[in-house]
A and B are shown apart, each in its own frame.
Chain A
Amino acid sequence: MSDSYRTQLVDTKGTSYEQFAIGVTVASFVAFVLAAGTLFGWVPVAGEISGVPGATYFGVGVLGLGVATGALGAFSRWGEAQTTPSRSAGLVVGVVHASIWTVAVGLFLRYTIGIGSVSWLLAVAVGVGVGYFALALPEDLGATAPTAVFVAFLGLLFVTGLISPSWAWQPNGTNATIPGTLVIPLLTMGGVLMTGWASASAYEGFGTRGRQNGAFVLISLVVLLTLSVLVFLLAFVFERGIMVVLENLTLSAGTVTVLLATALFALLRTATVRPTVANGTDRVAAFVNLTVASLLALATLGFVLVIGTNLSISAASITVEPTAVVGAVPGLIAGGVVFGLTRESGEWRPESGRGRSIRRAFRAALLVAGGIGVLELVAGLELAVAGIGAVSVLLGGVVVAALLVAAVRPTDERTESDQVIPPVSWLGRVAVTAFLLACLRVFATGFPVGLDQAGIVASGTIDWPFITNPSQGLGIQPGVMPAMFGTIWIVIGAVTFAVPLAVGSAVFLTEYAEDSIFTRAVDIATNGLWSTPSIVFGLFGLAFIVPRFGNTPSILAAQLVLGFMLLPLVLITSREAMKSVPDEYRDASAALGVSKWQTIRSVVVPASMPGVITGVILGVGRIAGETAPLLLVLNGPAFPNSGPKVLSSFLVRIGADPPFIHVSNPALMERASALPYQLYAVITAGVGAEQSFGWGTALVLLGVVLGFFLLSIATRRYFRRKLHQ
């Protein structure tokens, strides 16, 4: 009985009442997820499951949850459950219940029963009554009973088929039609939010702790809904675009294995994969990491098997060839990542003379390999296939042999003078360096290293038509290469233009200018500029920038216009970051006699770098997807035959006139395409067959933005580590 006992100080969970309550919470949670899934089309509601309509399952479930919630209240009031309800459920609960009941009863009477306008009068009366009921009764009844009756009623509506998937609601005076397939999941989600809240409150025995728990569950479910909307959006684009993007993709198993193994290594090095030693959200993250790591490991093994069994896989126009050939560029990326990650652990300082000679021998071998590569590059000849191949193979062999020796020999038996055998980490680093050198040599000279079946080649290990080709016309292989490079160049240009300007202004406003009307006006203007519609920027670019730079829309104009758009956000975030650098640092630096500028350069700006990069991350997300200004200032062919050749068209001319060195880049002054621009062109072309091309383009655009995100996040992480470790 709720009144006849005193709260125990130590709460031993596990009374049957608590188990029942948590059961209801979990069931509400599951129902919420299922209803959300229905909304997104993952769970069928219109069809039948073993002869019973999907809606009936929902009805029975919701009805059961309603009854269970009512039982929770009743047990607390009249049963043996030990709870500590407050005297009233509180004003908020009362008002919420009153509004829900008013709307629900009103709609029911008006549209289902069909008794004219008087239904709203009745509904208000019922609502006020329920509200009073919730307020006047003790919390355990006030919080559960209205919920229970309402949710049970919903369940009955679904079970009896009064609201069925084929049913539709057409509110008077509008053209809208809200189908039952939408109403059922929405009502279910609303109802189980209430039962989840009530049962979570009951689990902690109502009262202060109960309300705390109820609020927690409510918020968790809302967060879940928000996240699922985002995931749904991404999944929607992914699902429609992925097959177009991957069309005719051909991979060599060797390259894929190397990339997967690198990803696995990077994950193991940087993230925790042991859920047992982590706590809280870290534990969840560790579980996710463990799953990803296991999948990566399995996939890696799978591709090794593909190489071993020499069977090519091809599914849905993707082909994996069973060769152990690694491409030079993927090899460089993989090797670079591993090299970077092992930077700190790869030191070996042997104390004995023999150890030092071994180390010297390794270094000499690497130098020879690099030297041969340079020689080949300069002479333009394939000098020493045997030479460089042999060096790599030799290094690899030595490494494997030494690994074996090191593995056999227990570490604790080694003495100080016995450091002839290099540590495994150092050997691994030598192997990675050798691999990198070989990749670099292949990349630079184009001559392959190794055998036909296993080695490093310059190209051909990844054939990805959608990404690497221009579009070849309607109905043939679609491609996004020119537009993708257009977007990448525009973003790079905009960031290079905007970030130094913004950081410089932020330094002036924060460190030099005194807080005055001037700085406040600048702040307001910056905020206003950030909210200015992008088409206005585009118009400005068309009228002001385009006539001054070659009188034609160009990549440069697009870079500048998007740079202007990026400027205010980076300025705002940089200013905030600099303001939050503690004055103690500035004092400490001044007390050492260091000048203000030096202090800014070596203390303030480094400490605010993470904030600056946060601004860049947010800004790049916006400008990369910007279409409107590009229509005006980029305005090239939507499907050009070739990408902008920015890198190869830099012209450096040395002349007698100042400034003596003239740098120009005609490619920057040309019209081009960009992903959002091309996407717009595809969709407005209105050809049905091209729609999948549009989804593919959208997916690549997402990928490019995500790539910039990852790059920025890695940079921010680098600066944070520098500041805090």
Chain B
Amino acid sequence: MTESVTTTTDGSIESEQTTVDERTSAESEEQTKPEWREYSFAGEPVLSVEDLNVWYGDDHALKDISIEIPEQSVTALIGPSGCGKSTFLRCLNRMNDRIKEARVEGTVEFNGQDIYADAANLVELRKRVGMVFQHPNPFPKSIRENVAYGPRKHGDLNRGLVARLLGQDEKEAEDELVEQCLRDAALWEEVSDRLEDNALGLSGGQQQRLCIARCLAVDPEVILMDEPASALDPIATAKIEDLIESLAEEYTVVIVTHNMQQAARISDQTAVFLTGGELVEYGDTDQVFENPQSQRVEDYITGKFG
């Protein structure tokens, strides 16, 4: 990220974002970059990653990843199994912290703030960078409680016995929020009459859209999706894909997928990871699929490998 960008555009930077770490990356500027890294896009990168390395014990899972992700678009991460694309995704909201033997080096900046800084606020980070997992994982609670879970726990919605006794119950606000999130996740029509039913009674595709709604409820800027449709049937997958495309109008979506057709259909830009944890190509989706720069990527895309 260059100085000029930070100073000229500030439209996307929230006022509450005090700088965590204003590290300028002068050294990395001087490194020789492959040709495709010239990829440029209009506007501000919401996430910018510099020289990210991840080890699981002795296993070097990600090697020198540098990438910038533009806002309000869909970025697909594709690649064969075990190439580190899910690891990379989990670095973006520090979910790798939950794995004991994982070690992360490098810089990940979210709106210009280093999320790996010591003073980084994990709660705030994960509220702004939400995540949807491969297997739908709604809580064994009602649909309403699932959606309202995040805001309730963050104290944004005051519910419960004490609130009711004090007359501060925010049921209306919650109703509104739940409806809005379920509408945004294209699930409202299907569940509006059974919000109090247990979420485990929904079908797989509905559960996954509920997980997306649950993620939307904490009002994130970025949504990370780890193969969100791989456990679903084609119809549910189509619904999730439509949903992702509409979400990109408001949110930044980063999606890991195994399915190259899916990446081609829904993403604006595509990053290709190949075995060994390297980022081999990154650019406009059309360009990556039609005219890849790297021979390895071309082999992978045309199915000669992986």
A636–B133 Cα distance when bound, in Å, is 61
A588 in contact with B126 given A598-B153, A723-B198 (CB within 8 Å): no
Is the pair A595, B139 in contact by a Cβ cutoff of 8 Å?
Answer: no
A661 part of interface (Cβ distance < 8 Å): no
Which B residues are CB-close (under 8 A) to A594? Answer: 123, 149-150, 153-154
Q: Which residue of A lies closest to B145 (CB)?
A: A602
* Chain B residue with the shortest CB-CB distance to A595: B123
Q: Cα distance A591–B131 when bound, in Å?
A: 6
A587 touches B98 (CB 8 A): yes
Interface residues of B in 129-167 (CB under 8 A from A): 130-131, 133, 135, 137-140, 149-150, 153-154
A592, CB-defined interface residue at 8 Å: yes
Tell me whether B200 is interfacial, beta carbon within 8 Å.
yes
Residues of chain B within 8 A (CB-CB) of A588 are: 133, 137-139, 211, 214
Q: Nearest B residue to A594 by beta-carbon distance?
A: B153
Whether the Cβ atoms of A592 and B149 lie closer than 8 Å is yes
Q: Point out the residues of chain A lying under 8 angstroms from B214, CB to CB.
A: 588, 592
A591 near B140 with CB under 8 A, answer: no
Report which residue of A587, A588, A590 has the largest number of chain B beta carbons within 10 angstroms of its beta carbon.
Answer: A588
Instruction: Say yes or no: B137 contacts A585, CB within 8 Å.
Output: yes
Interface size class of B (residues with CB under 8 A): 20 to 34
Alpha-carbon distance A470/B218, docked complex (angstroms): 62
Please encode chain A, from 304 to 333, with 1 for each CB lying within 8 Å of some chain B CB and 0 for all others.
000000000000000000000000000000
Q: For B124, B126, B138, B153, which residue has the most chain A Cβ atoms within 10 angstroms?
A: B153
Question: Which residues of B lie under 8 Å from residue A585 when comparing CB positions?
Answer: 137, 139-140
Asked if B127 is at the interface of the complex by the 8 Å CB criterion, the answer is: yes
CA distance A724 to B201 in the complex (A): 8
Residue of B nearest to A592 (CB): B150
Known: A588-B211, A591-B130. A582 touches B200 (CB 8 A): no
Q: Contacts A588-B133, A588-B137, A588-B211 hold; do A593 and B201 have CB atoms under 8 A apart?
A: no
Asked if B211 and A592 make an inter-chain contact with CB atoms under 8 angstroms apart, the answer reads no
A405 contacts B by Cβ under 8 Å: no
Q: Is A11 an interface residue (CB 8 A)?
A: no
Contacting residue for A592 out of B98, B127, B140, B201, CB 8 A: B127
User: Is the CB of B197 closer than 8 A to any CB of chain A?
Assistant: yes
B260 within 8 A of A: no
Instruction: Decide yes or no whether A98 CB sits under 8 A from chain B.
Output: no
Interfacial residues of chain A within 679-725, with CB under 8 A of chain B in the complex: 723-725
Whose C-beta in chain A lies nearest to the C-beta of B218? A592
Query: Does B74 belong to the interface (CB within 8 Å)?
Result: no
A612 vs B180: C-alpha distance in the bound complex, in angstroms? 37
Q: What's the Cα separation between A687 and B137 when bound, in Å?
A: 65
Q: How far is the CA of A588 from the CA of B150 in the complex (A)?
A: 10
Residues of A within 8 A of B153 (CB): 589, 592, 594-595, 598, 602
Q: Which of A584, A590, A725 contacts B201 (CB 8 A)?
A: A725
Complex-state Cα separation, A591 to B127, whole angstroms? 8
Question: In the assembled complex, how far is the CB of residue B40 from the closest CB belonging to chain A, in whole angstroms?
Answer: 31
Cα distance, A593 to B215, chains bound together (Å): 10
Residue of A nearest to B214 (CB): A592
A384 located at the interface, meaning its Cβ lies under 8 Å from any Cβ of chain B in the complex:
no
CB proximity of A228 to chain B, nearest CB, Å: 39
- Chain A residue nearest in CB terms to B128: A593
Interface size class of A (residues with CB under 8 A): 20 to 34
Bound-complex Cα distance A132 to B123 (A): 74
Contacting residue for A584 out of B100, B125, B137, CB 8 A: B137
Report B-chain residues with C-beta under 8 Å of the C-beta of A724: 140, 198, 200
Which residues on B sit within 8 Å (CB–CB) of A589? 139, 149, 153
Contact residues of B between 90 and 143, Cβ < 8 Å to A: 93, 95, 98, 100, 122-127, 130-131, 133, 135, 137-140
B125 touches A593 (CB 8 A): yes
Q: Which of A587, A589, A594 has the most CB of B within 10 A?
A: A594
CB 8 Å contact bits of B209-237 with A (1 = contact, 0 = none): 00100110010000000000000000000
Given contacts A723-B140, A725-B198, contact A590 B133 (CB under 8 A): no
A590/B125 contact (C-beta < 8 A), A603-B139, A723-B198 known: no
Q: B95 contacts which chain A residues (CB < 8 A)?
A: 587, 590-591
A186 to chain B, nearest CB (A): 50
Write out the residue numbers on chain B whose beta carbons fall within 8 Å of the beta carbon of A595. Answer: 123, 153
Considering the chains assembled together, what is the distance between the CA atoms of A607 and B130 in angstroms? 24
A175 vs B219: C-alpha distance when bound (angstroms): 83
Q: Given the complex of chains A and B, what is the CA–CA distance between A700 and B302 in angstroms? A: 78
The answer to whether A584 and B133 have CB atoms under 8 Å apart is yes
Q: Are B126 and A592 in contact (CB under 8 A)?
A: yes
In the complex, which of the residues B124, B126, B197 contacts A591, with contact meaning CB atoms closer than 8 Å? B126
- How distant is B281 from chain A, measured CB to nearest CB, in Å? 28
Q: How far is the CA of A607 from the CA of B141 in the complex (A)?
A: 9
Is A593 a contact of B211 with CB atoms below 8 Å?
A: no
Residues in B neighbouring A587, C-beta threshold 8 A: 95, 98, 133, 137
Say yes or no: A607 contacts B215, CB within 8 Å: no
B117 to chain A, nearest CB (A): 17
In the complex, are the beta carbons of A593 and B218 less than 8 A apart?
A: yes
Is there an interface contact between A725 and B211, defined as CB atoms closer than 8 Å? no
For B131, list chain A residues within 8 Å (CB): 591
Residue interface mask A561-598, B partner, CB < 8 A = 1: 00000000000000000000010110111111111001
Cα distance A603–B150 when bound, in Å? 12
Is the beta-carbon distance between A582 and B137 smaller than 8 angstroms? yes
Question: Which chain A residue has the least Cβ–Cβ distance from B131?
Answer: A591
Q: Mark B181-207, 1 if CB is under 8 A from A, else 0.
A: 000000000000000011011000000
**Residue of A with least CB distance to B125:** A593
Q: Is the CB of A592 within 8 A of B200?
A: no
Q: Do A590 and B126 have beta carbons less than 8 Å apart?
A: yes
With the chains together, A593 CA to B93 CA distance in Å? 10
* Cα A594 to Cα B139 with chains together (Å): 13
Task: Give the complex CA separation of A1 and B85 in angstroms.
Answer: 66
A606 to B150, CA, bound (A): 17
Q: Is the CB of B150 within 8 A of A593?
A: yes
Most buried by B among A589, A590, A591, A593: A591
**Cα distance, A607 to B211, chains bound together (Å):** 18
Asked if B198 and A593 make an inter-chain contact with CB atoms under 8 angstroms apart, the answer reads: no
Chain A residues near B138 (CB, 8 Å)?
A: 588
Instruction: Output the least CB separation between B213 and chain A (Å).
Output: 12
Chain A residues whose C-beta falls within 8 Å of the C-beta of B122 in the assembled complex: 593
- Docked CA distance A595–B123 (Å): 7
Say whether B125 contacts A592, CB under 8 Å: no
How far apart are A495's CB and chain B's nearest CB, in angstroms? Answer: 23
Report which residue of B123, B139, B201 has the largest number of chain A beta carbons within 10 angstroms of its beta carbon. B139
Residue of A nearest to B98 (CB): A590
In the complex, are the beta carbons of A584 and B135 less than 8 A apart? yes
Q: Name 10 A/B residue pairs within 8 A (Cβ), A-sorted.
A: A584-B133, A591-B131, A591-B215, A592-B126, A592-B153, A593-B123, A595-B153, A598-B153, A724-B198, A725-B198
The 7 nearest A-B residue pairs measured at CB: A593-B126, A584-B137, A591-B131, A592-B150, A593-B127, A723-B140, A593-B123
Beyond known contacts A587-B98, A591-B215: 15 more, CB 8 A cutoff: A514-B100, A584-B137, A585-B137, A590-B126, A591-B130, A591-B131, A592-B149, A592-B218, A593-B124, A594-B150, A594-B153, A602-B153, A723-B198, A725-B198, A725-B201
